[in-house]
Amino acid sequence: MALTPGRGSSAGRVRPELWMLLWAAAWRLGASACPALCTCTGTTVDCHGTGLQAIPKNIPRNTERLELNGNNITRIHKNDFAGLKQLRVLQLMENQIGAVERGAFDDMKELERLRLNRNQLHMLPELLFQNNQALSRLDLSENAIQAIPRKAFRGATDLKNLQLDKNQISCIEEGAFRALRGLEVLTLNNNNITTIPVSSFNHMPKLRTFRLHSNHLFCDCHLAWLSQWLRQRPTIGLFTQCSGPASLRGLNVAEVQKSEFSCSGPGEAGRVPTCTLSSGSCPAMCTCSNGIVDCRGKGLTAIPANLPETMTEIRLELNGIKSIPPGAFSPYRKLRRIDLSNNQIAEIAPDAFQGLRSLNSLHTGPVTCPHGTGTHSSHCRDFAVAVPSRNDPGAMFEEAVPRILYSAS
Could you report the per-residue pLDDT of 196-218, keeping only the tens digit for each?
999 999 999 999 999 999 999 99
Contacts of 173 (CB under 8 A, 6+ apart): 147, 148, 149, 150, 197, 274, 275, 276, 277
> Is 149 in contact with 171 (CB distance < 8 Å)?
no
Q: Is the pLDDT confidence value at 4 over 60?
A: no
Record: fold of 135-277: 3.80.10
Query: d(Cα 383, Cα 324) in Å, to the nearest integer?
Result: 12
Segments of the chain assigned to CATH 3.80.10.10: 36-120, 135-277, 279-409
For residue 380, what is the DSSP state? Answer: B
Query: What's the rounded Cα separation, in Å, for the pair 115 and 141?
Result: 9
CA atoms within 13 A on the CB side of 316: 28
Question: Within 10 Å of residue 137's Cβ, how many Cβ atoms?
Answer: 16
Residue 146, amino acid: Q
Would you state the torsion angle of the CA atoms of residues 285, 287, 292, 293, taken in this order, to the nearest 10 degrees? 0
> Does the pLDDT value for residue 384 go beyond 70?
no
Per-residue pLDDT band for 328 (boundaries 50, 70, 90) equals: confident
Q: What is the pLDDT of residues 96-123, one digit of tens each?
A: 998 898 899 999 999 999 999 999 998 8
Which residues 6+ apart lie within 8 Å of 385 measured at CB? 348, 349, 350, 351, 352, 353, 398, 399, 401, 404
Model confidence, pTM: 0.68
- The two beta strands, 287-289 and 292-294, are antiparallel
- Which CATH code of 3.40.366.10, 3.30.420.40, 3.80.10.10, 3.30.70.3190 fits the domain covering 279-409? 3.80.10.10
- 36-120 folds as 3.80.10
